[in-house]
Amino acid sequence: MDTATLIDSFSGKFETFVERYKSLKADNQKLTDENAALKLKISELESALADNKKSLSTQQLANTFLTASENNSQEAKNKINRIVREIDNCIALLNR
């Protein structure tokens, strides 16, 4: 092989390498953007889940109070005591 053939071969391979690099770089950027969007969506869904758990807890507590007058006052007292303990813990943390 002569020098010109080797240079042409190398040039062709180098151009292929550069094109592949640009393509992979674009794919990487696309995936990075998609990953960021998915992380944001996960954060939003986790926040919504936490809100729904609080709402469910509140609804369960309300149902307990509604049924407490009928037959289960001990369960209502236990829930109230649990809530008071949670509030006390929050106050203790705030006082630190």
Task: Report the distance separating Cα 14 and Cα 33, nearest Å.
Answer: 29
Full residue range of the structural domain in which residue 52 is found: 3-95
Q: pTM for the complete prediction?
A: 0.55
Task: Report the distance separating Cα 72 and Cα 64, nearest Å.
Answer: 8
φ, ψ (nearest 5 deg) of residue 66: -65, -40
Residue reference for tokens 């954060």: 43
The tens-digit pLDDT sequence of the chain (96 residues) is: 688 888 888 899 999 999 999 999 999 999 999 999 999 999 999 999 988 888 888 887 777 666 655 556 677 777 778 888 888 888 888 887
CA distances from 81 to 16, 36, 53, 89 (A): 72, 43, 20, 12
Model pLDDT, residue 70: 56
Number of domains in the chain: 1
